Structure 1
Amino acid sequence: MLCASIVLFKYSNSSSTAFFTSIEDSKSIQDDLNGDGKKDILYVKKDDKNYYIQVNLHDGTSYALDPGSNFPTLGDSLDYWPMKVSTLDVSRNNIKEIFLQSSFHGKPIQHIFLWNEKKYDDIFCSNNNILGFVDSKNNKTPRVISANIYNGEISYNSYIFVKDKLKQFNYNYPANYMGMDIISNFISLVQSFPNESLTLPPYFYHNISGSDLNLLYGTANNSMSYSFEDGSFKDLSWDSNGVPHEVKWSLNFKSTSLSDSKAVKAITFDLLLTKFTNSDGTFTYKITSLNLR
């Protein structure tokens, strides 16, 4: 187990569609997990301390997701830091892997579970706070990115599935990889709130919807402070060279009232980043859509 040139189109509000399911209460998620074309159930139980997950396949068999010995927990049960769950066939073996993000003792944790013909194995765990999927919907080899953003510093680990095992590989990441530089700046921006005189940073698209911006200004003007918890991303479309053109990001924060430190809740910004080509041939990403939930 591993531990550790402007394209013109209509900008849609695809930032509002989450690809991770947030678990505020016990929940059943229906999905075809084993590739037989029938709906299975991923049941997540939440009590006052912990999370428990069970896979109920359509044929009547059930399997618990048991965390490995290195991270012997699926996460603390906290209203202001709920577990996030996603299922995706990154291995391309027609059986979906199960990806989890949660927290343990105030730190982010990640788990990846893989079916091994008899049970689900916890093949990856990490304290990183970013989990991303690259090339999962095109003809390239899908990659899983486990990254960490802290105080403006970004570190990355990249993985691919090889014969149903997760293998790390080295990659020289540019500063604007998947718009990570923009995301780091956006996290710092939100953590600087409240700010009643907010000036819109230049990494926002100039024609972004006014209703989207109202969500941002409303957050800035609240008497609340915000602390980044974790986030995720996934590329949605690509240019003719295979470079991601649109990247969907979800960023989760703990919101705390400045007048009552016990008044806390979870908020999530869903962002759509779009690639624009600069006059010198380089490119940058800009935030073209924003949703708050």
Structure 2
Amino acid sequence: MSFKKFKLTKKYFYSFIILSLIVLMPVIAFQYLNRSSPAFITSIEDSKTIQDDLNGDGKKDILYVKKDDKNYYVQVNLNDGTSYGLNPSGAMPTLGDATDYWPMKVITLDASRNNIKEIFLQSSFHGKPIQHVFHWKDKKYEDIYCSNNNILGFVDSKNNKTPRIISANIFNGEISYNSFIFVKDELKKYSYTFPSNYMGIDVIASFVTLLQSFPNDSLALPSYFYHNISGSDLNLLYGAANNNTSYTFQDGVFKDLSWDSNGIPHEIKWTLNFKATSLSDNKIVKAITFDLILTKYPNSDGSYNYKITSLNLR
């Protein structure tokens, strides 16, 4: 009798393990995809349709980006049959030049938490970066912010804090910031003292400087790389360094992925876009993208810094 009871217990134990794995696998998969996928950013190399639930009704809408020989045009087609063009404001009356080596980037995110996603655009105009933020207001999409900055950042967009939007600029190793939160239908600037390692941007500025120093056939790995970073990731970096190519930084996007017990971002995903020009034939010009994961590591004095723990090249 006791032997039979043991068999039943063991049977149910294994059933519990299998059931737990079935339940946890989607969660694990979601976390992995959220960490590694750049899905919230779409690069527009040619005219393209993006399917997303923009108005929060649970149905897919279409964001259509048309590229001609000179310009970009963007239109929202909601599933109820209504369409809205994204018209840039008078302060910056263009959505960007249609340049193969500097494609438009599209980000959709409900930063206002009104259940309707904002549409963020990054592109270029006459060789300079431009940004636009479109927000649903008064039954239309309104261009509520534009700038010539080259960094867009999203902080606290996936936790219970107030989402923050960062518009920053990296130039010659120097960094400047504008920080915003949504108040009703407006982006309101707020004052904040940014530490030098805010979102690992000091590491990013150094990485940009490193890439722009290439080619370099004797590259020594900088200390801001995690010492156990994957060898395949490093091969991508060394390949870029030895590719007889020069790199010019164009723009970038970041968002925090996870947080420590004090609410400080633990992992941050950065996507950095460069113009790559062949030094053997300067007519060969293309766009390349580095996806980086930065992870927070404590120092002995109680401070912390970020290190690059993952690198992917597209």
TM range (shorter): over 0.9
Aligned length: 284
Q: Deviations over 1:81-122 (max 9, x none)?
A: 000001000000000000000000000000000011421000
Q: Would you tell me which structure has more helix in proportion to its own residues?
A: 2
Q: What is the distance in 2 between the residues matched to 1:117 and 1:59?
A: 18
Equivalent residue number for residue 6 of structure 1:
none
Q: 1:44 aligns with which of 65, 73, 76?
A: 65
Say whether residues 1:286 and 2:314 are aligned partners.
Answer: no
Q: Which is higher, the Rg of structure 1 or of structure 2?
A: 2
Say whether residues 1:255 and 2:269 are aligned partners.
Answer: no
Q: Is the 8 A contact 2:42 2:107 kept in 1?
A: yes
Say whether residues 1:151 and 2:172 are aligned partners.
Answer: yes
Partner SS for 1:63? strand
Q: 1:60 aligns with which of 68, 71, 81?
A: 81
Partner SS for 1:189? helix
Q: 1:115 aligns with which of 133, 136, 141?
A: 136
Q: What stretches of structure 2 of length at least 5 have no aligned partner?
A: 1-30
Q: What is the distance in 1 between the residues matched to 2:32 and 2:237?
A: 18
Q: What is the distance in 2 between the residues matched to 1:217 and 1:116?
A: 47
Aligned-partner residue type, residue 182 of structure 2: F
Q: What is the distance in 2 between the residues matched to 1:291 and 1:15?
A: 9
Task: Say what the alpha-carbon RMSD is for the aligned residues.
Answer: 1.4
TM-score of the aligned structures, taking structure 2 as reference length:
0.89
Q: What is the distance in 2 between the residues matched to 1:146 and 1:130?
A: 6
Equivalent residue number for residue 202 of structure 1:
223
* Bigger RCO of structures 1 and 2 (CA < 8 A, at least 6 apart): 1
Equivalent residue number for residue 12 of structure 2:
none
Aligned-partner residue type, residue 109 of structure 1: I
1:57-206 matched pairs, under 5 angstroms: 57-206=78-227
Q: What is the distance in 2 between the residues matched to 1:272 and 1:254?
A: 21
Q: What is the distance in 2 between the residues matched to 1:18 and 1:95?
A: 18
Q: What is the distance in 1 between the residues matched to 2:38 and 2:97?
A: 25
Partner SS for 1:182? helix
Aligned-partner residue type, residue 169 of structure 1: Y
Deviation at 1:164, TM superposition (A): 1.5
1:7-18 matched pairs, under 5 angstroms: 14-18=35-39
Q: Is the 8 A contact 1:15 1:249 kept in 2?
A: no
Deviation at 1:77, TM superposition (A): 0.2
Aligned-partner residue type, residue 272 of structure 2: L
Partner SS for 2:211? helix
Q: What stretches of structure 1 of length at least 5 have no aligned partner?
A: 1-9
Q: Deviations over 1:48-84 (max 9, x none)?
A: 1000000000000000000001100000000100000
Percent sequence identity over matched residues? 78
